[in-house]
Amino acid sequence: MKVFKFGGASLKDAENILNVVNIIQNFGEKQKLLVVVSAIGKTTNAIEDVLKKYWNNENYEQNVEILEKYHFDIAYDLMKKEAFNQEDIEELKDTFLALRLDLQHWHKHSHKEMVYDQIVSYGEIISSKIVFAVLKNKNMPLDWLDARKVIRTDATWREGRVDWEQTLRNIQYLRPVLQEKIIITQGFIGRTAEGHTTTLGREGSDYTGAIFSAALSAENQTIWKDVAGVLNADPKQFAFATLFDKLSYEESASLTYYGASVIHPKTIAPLRQAGIPLLVKSFLQPQNKGTYIGEIPNQDDLKAVILKEKQVWLAFRPTTWQYLREEEVADILTACSGLALKVNLICKGAFILNILTEDRPEKLSLLANRFSFQQEKNCILVTKMGMQDFGDLWNKSKGKVLLELKEPDFQQFVVQF
C-alpha cells in the first residue's frame, strides 16, 4: 500500500488534473493507493483574500465569484474531455453554496483564527471532489474520505496539533477499504473533538500524507511536485541548484527546518519513526526517480543554500536596568509556543533577547499584549550549509544584515529588506 500526495501546482488546470489522474490510474491498477490532494492552484491564497474583506466588513462576494468561476472553468474544461458530468457540476455548486452559508454563519464570531480554519478548509474539500469525480468517470474503484473524520487535533487554530493515539485508531477502518478501492482525501485539515475544523499549518498536506502513511504502515509515501525532487537551492534564485538523488531522514529534516519549501517540516518525523521512505518526484516526469529519503547514512559534504522569507526580527528588553533573566526568557518562549509562533532563531545578550519568527500580525499583536518588543519586518533567514564561497552565491549587501553566524561549514544571516 502506498500514499500519494499532490500539491496545488499539480492540479492548477484541467490538463494538469488529467495528468494527475493518469498517474493515479497507472499506479492504482497495480497496488493499493491512498491519495491526498491540496487545494487547486493558489486557492488558499484566494480564500485568504475573501477572509480579509470578510473581517473588514467589506463586500467579499466578488472574490467568492472569482474563486467559483476559476473552479467551474476547470470543471467545464473537464466536461469537454468527458471527464466530468452534470451531476458533478451540481455537487460543485452545492459545495460553493455551503461555503457561502458558512461565511454567513461565522460572520459575528470573534475568534478569527478559528473562523479561518472553518473557511479556508474548503479549498481542499473542493479539489478532492473534483479529482474524485474525474476518476469516478474513468470507472476507477474509489472511495472519497473526509480527512476530518479521522484526523483528530486539538484546538490550536491554523496549527492543529495531532492527537496521534485517537487518529491512529480512527484510520484503521480504512485498511479493508483499501483492499478494494483507491481512497481520495484531503491534506491540511483535521477536526477537534468538539467537531470544529482545524488546519495543520500552511502547506500541511505533506504532513497529512505522513500521518496516513504511518497509520497504515505504507510501503512508501510519494510527494508529487513541479520540480524534479529536492534541490540544494531554489532554482529561481540560484543557477547552480542541483538535485539530491538521496537524503537521510536527518538531512531532509534539517533542510526543511531551515526553510526548504519542497517538504513540510512536520513530514519527516512520523515517517522516520515508522521507517517509511519518502519519494519526492515530478508530476511532469513521473518516470524519473526524483529524490529518495530514508534510513541511509548522512553525506559528508551536504551542500545547500536555503532562504526562509516573510520573517520578523523581535527585540525584547528588560523593563528595568538589569540583566535579562532566564525566567523572563522562559516566559517569552512559553508564550510563543502557546501562540504556535515558530521560533526560527534565538540570540540572547545581557540586556536583549532577539527572536526570528514568522510574520503573523494577529499572533504578534497577542504577544504584544504581554511583552514589550521592537519589530524589524521584511526579513529573510539565509542558511548556508557546506559552501565556503557564500558571497559569490548570494549578495547579502542587497539588504541590511541584522545578524550573522559563522561556523566552518554552516552560516546563517538575518537580512532585512
Does the pLDDT at position 272 exceed 80? yes
- Residue-by-residue DSSP string for 55-115: HTT---HHHHHHHHHHHHHHHHHHHHTTS--HHHHHHHHHHHHHHHHHHHHTTT-S-HHHH
Residue carrying the nine cell digits 490510474 = 25
Q: Is the dihedral angle over the CA atoms 307, 308, 310, 313 positive or is it negative?
A: negative
Report whether 228 contacts 203 (CB < 8 A): no
Does the pLDDT at position 289 exceed 70? yes
Single-letter code of the amino acid located at 127: S
Q: What are the pLDDT digits (tens) for 334-343?
A: 999 998 899 9
pLDDT for residue 287: 92
**How large is the average pLDDT for residues 273-290?**
96
pLDDT bracket for residue 235 (50, 70, 90)? confident
Does the pLDDT at position 395 exceed 80? no
pLDDT for residue 320: 73
Strand partners, 293: 247, 278
Q: What are the pLDDT digits (tens) for 132-168?
A: 999 999 999 999 999 999 999 999 999 999 999 999 9
Half-sphere exposure of 14 (CA within 13 A, CB side): 15
At 255, list the grid cell: 533542510
Q: What are the pLDDT digits (tens) for 66-101?
A: 999 999 999 999 999 999 999 999 999 999 999 999
Helices (H), 339-376: 361-368
Report whether 324 contacts 349 (CB < 8 A): yes
Domains and CATH numbers, the chain: 2-218 (3.40.1160.10), 304-416 (3.30.2130.10)
- 298 — phi, psi (to 5°)? -65, 150
Q: What are the pLDDT digits (tens) for 173-196?
A: 999 999 999 999 999 999 999 999
Q: Is 416 helix (H, G, I), strand (E, B) or coil?
A: strand
DSSP at 299: P
pTM, 2 dp: 0.90
Does the pLDDT at position 25 exceed 70? yes
Report whether 230 contacts 222 (CB < 8 A): no
